[in-house]
Amino acid sequence: MFKIHDFLNKKIFNNIKDIVTSNKLPYYVQTGLTEGTDGDLLYNLFTHILVNENQEIISNAFDSIGKPIVDRIKKMDPYFSKLLRMKVNCYPNQSKPIKSEYHIDLANNSDYKTLILGINDTNGYTEFKYKKRPKCKSLANVAYVFNGNEKHRSVSQTNTAYRWNININYETNKLLAPDMPRHTEFIVR
């Protein structure tokens, strides 16, 4: 896994943030990421799918949100070959940290990368089942890239009304060796 500060230039990032946090981008509820022992749904998440799991662009917002991110990934990773899925996540504050189940994003594909781009600063984070991995803190314009087959989960925030991030899954022609960034000028550990 590696961490990239200032993933996008400030103007592009602020444009994306303005769209993501506006009332003009529709979000759709995803319930049941975590179930209590009695079956009650404990966790809600709102998403806006830009590219679905069939690699189809299904949002008119892709050009404004997705394209600049893909262009940046291509500069960072010359082995980029295909965008598999891209979605915007909006986590509402639930008054206490709620942990989703550990998961991998694309169960039918094991050779891909996941990039999580924070849109706002919160005390929410993504954590890994492999506990030696550091948490991915939710920080504005900070991206984390890791192998897609690493089980991870989201932990909700308590210090802001919403936590927004963009989750991107993509394939490369060469699978990144764990903890070996291709272009060190982009990486800040």
Higher pLDDT, 170 or 77: 170
> How sure is the predictor about 188, in pLDDT bands with cuts at 50, 70 and 90?
very low
pLDDT in tens, 140-168: 999 999 999 999 999 999 999 999 999 99
Q: Give the pLDDT score at 173.
A: 84
Rounded to whole angstroms, the Cα distance separating 165 from 98 reads 16
Q: Cα–Cα–Cα angle for 138, 143, 144, nearest 5°? A: 90
Please say if the pLDDT value at position 120 is more than 80.
Answer: yes
Residue range 172-188: mean pLDDT, rounded: 52
Q: Tell me the CA distances in angstroms from 154 to 72, 79, 172, one per residue in order.
A: 24, 28, 24
Per-range mean pLDDT, top range of 16-20, 75-79, 108-112, 133-137: 16-20
**Matching residue, tokens 């009332």:** 23
Count of CA atoms in the C-beta half-sphere (13 A) of 83: 22
- Of all residues in the chain, the percent with pLDDT exceeding 70 is 85
Q: Is the dihedral of CA 127, 133, 137, 142 positive or negative?
A: negative
pLDDT at site 78? 86
Distance CA 57, CA 50 (A): 6
Least confident stretch, 102-106, 135-139, 184-188: 184-188
**How far separated are the first and last CA of the chain, in Å rounded?**
10
pLDDT score recorded for residue 43? 65
